[in-house]
Amino acid sequence: MSHSQRSDIFLLDADRTTWHDETLWFVRQKRDKAVYALPEFQDLRELASQIKNHTLSKLDFYLAQFEEAAKRNGVQVHWAADAAEHNSIVLGLIKKHGATRVVKSKSMLTEECHLNPHLIKNGIEVIDTDLGERIIQMREEAPSHVVLPAIHLKKEDVGDTFHIHLGTAKGNNDPQQLTEAARQHLREKFLAGEVAISGVNFAIAETGSVVVCTNEGNADLGVNLAKVHIACMGMEKLIPRLSDLSVFTRVLTRSATGQPVTTYTSHFTKPAPGKEMHIVIVDNGRTKQLGRPDFRASLKCIRCGACMNTCPVYRRSGGHSYDFTIPGPIGAILSPNIDMRKHASLPFASTLCGSCTDVCPVKIDIHTQLYKWRQVLAAEGEIPASKKWSMRLLSSVLSRPGMYGLGGKVARQGLRFLPHGLTHAKGYNPWAIARELPEPPKQSFREWYAQQQKNS
């Protein structure tokens, strides 16, 4: 299915669509307040963008520096070319320690690699410890947002889920009581966890440490209680120096949720005595994206989610309509790089209004890249035949003024007499599903202009 077909499913529930739209707009407004309260925000944005540009231009150097520093700290570093290799490294490490219970904090990379199903298939219990992630894990759903994975759910949905899985009272939708139930449930899992898996927000090349930002402290609890810590990171997570970090921590949470800073910003540099720490560095298509000059900047993304919160298409179509781990405008740029055919409709899921580009804290030219992807997809023959032929027809009409004038005349007359059921037929005019056409004018602008010229 295309993005618009999947959106149709989301849009069937009109109340939920409105609620989803308004909730994300509320988050966007919180972001605006936090940003305007910081006079130097635009300078930080520029600096963040330049640091990322620089790092990507010397990625091979910084990756080697990071590996060397991490090894010096006693951390074991692994390299994975793709999702399958990543999953097999992680499973191998768990098995090597004879472990069967894993706690995992939020990591979009492990979602991207489909790590959970791989571990479960191999007899490992894996528990997501971020509250939003745990809710969707119980429901066997994918995250619908990079920062707010369960944003598509209402508290009533969570109440029903916890009633089924945690035995809370039926109809109990009180957020405080539900959170308490989740806390009790997760506490047991934390204490039983033998291996802790975490994502990585930033990896610092000069120190070899990884930085994980959470609001719940779940990564810290998991890592400190387990014997083995496996940190999984995409190779684009690097920043050169420790002193660069504050630039990103200051823009990340303000852009994500409007908070001045995340509740926990934890640095993991070396294993505690008697424990092991591993870092798995994953490519999975990133080198390919780095090699595409038009799309390279998408690797600067720090996964704040601001482009999703502001996007009018995302807010009204929901994260699942993208059918890709990273939804929204940035996902629509990253996904065709992984599978051009499967995700060909995503770069078209945008009004190209540019709001995503305006809010991006690392200045990714998101809407320009979406427009570029459309051109690439058309050149590669990855757009539907109906779109291809209608664009060809339109191009030949628009390049012939006589034909354009005649076409306009026929349409103006035709629209007066054609039955509504025909002009608004769902099958070939999806534009008209939720819109009415204006009354056709009696004359075109050109005709009106020529008449005015004559009269004067």
Angle at 127 between CA 16 and CA 194, to 5 degrees: 165
**For residue 339, how far is the Cα from the chain centroid?**
16
The answer to the question of residue 301 lying near ligand SF4 (CB under 6 A) is: yes
Chosen residue from 44, 113, 297, 304 binding ligand SF4 by CB under 6 A: 304
Beta bridge partners of 126: 102
CB of 327 to ligand SF4, least distance (A): 10
* Options 195, 362, 370, 377; binder of ligand SF4; rule CB under 6 A: 362
Q: Dihedral (C-alpha) 239, 240, 241, 242: value to the nearest 10 degrees?
A: 20
Candidate list 213, 307, 334, 349; residue touching ligand SF4; CB under 6 A: 307
CB of 181 to ligand SF4, least distance (A): 31
Minimum Å gap between C-beta 358 and ligand SF4 is 10
Q: Token match 């005019």: residue? A: 429
Query: Shortest approach of ligand SF4 to residue 302 CB, angstroms?
Result: 5
Q: How many chain residues bind ligand SF4 (CB under 6 A)?
A: 15
> Tokens in use for 114?
């489909």
Candidate list 35, 119, 223, 306; residue touching ligand SF4; CB under 6 A: 306
Residue 90 · residue 198 · CB < 8 Å: no
Which phi and psi angles does 214 have, rounded to 5°?
-140, 160
The upper half-sphere exposure of residue 403, i.e. CA atoms within 13 Å in the direction of its Cβ, equals 8
| 364 is an interface residue for ligand SF4 by CB under 6 A | yes
Closer CB to ligand SF4, 305 or 347, in the complex: 305
Binding mask 245-284 for ligand SF4 (x = CB under 6 A): ----------x-----------------------------
Region 316-335 residues binding ligand SF4, contact defined as CB under 6 A: 330
> Whole-angstrom Cα distance, residue 456 to residue 451?
9
Among 30-38, 75-83, 206-214, 356-364, the segment contacting ligand SF4 (CB under 6 A): 356-364
Q: How far is the CB of 371 from ligand SF4 (least distance, A)?
A: 15
Q: Does 44 bind ligand SF4 (CB under 6 A)?
A: no
Is residue 299 part of the contact set for ligand SF4 (CB under 6 A)?
no
Q: Does 303 participate in binding ligand SF4 (rule CB under 6 A)?
A: yes
Nearest to 303 by CA among 344, 332, 264, 331: 331
Q: How far apart are CA 27 and CA 18, in angstroms?
A: 14
Residue with smaller CB distance to ligand SF4, 246 or 413: 246
Q: For residue 302, state whether it binds ligand SF4 (rule: CB under 6 A).
A: yes
* Least spacing, CB of residue 49 vs ligand SF4, in Å: 10
The Cα–Cα gap between 50 and 130 comes to 31
Sheet of strand 264-268: strand arrangement? 238-239, 202-204, 209-214, 264-268
56 binds ligand SF4 (CB under 6 A): no
Which of residues 136, 203, 212, 360 is near ligand SF4 by CB under 6 A? 360
CA distance 230 to 377: 38
Residue of 205, 225, 195 whose CA lies nearest to 269? 205
Distance CA 378, CA 366 (A): 19
> Where in 21-40 is the site for ligand SF4 (CB under 6 A)?
none
Strand partners, 128: 104
For ligand SF4, the binding residues (CB under 6 A) are 255, 301-307, 330, 359-362, 364, 366
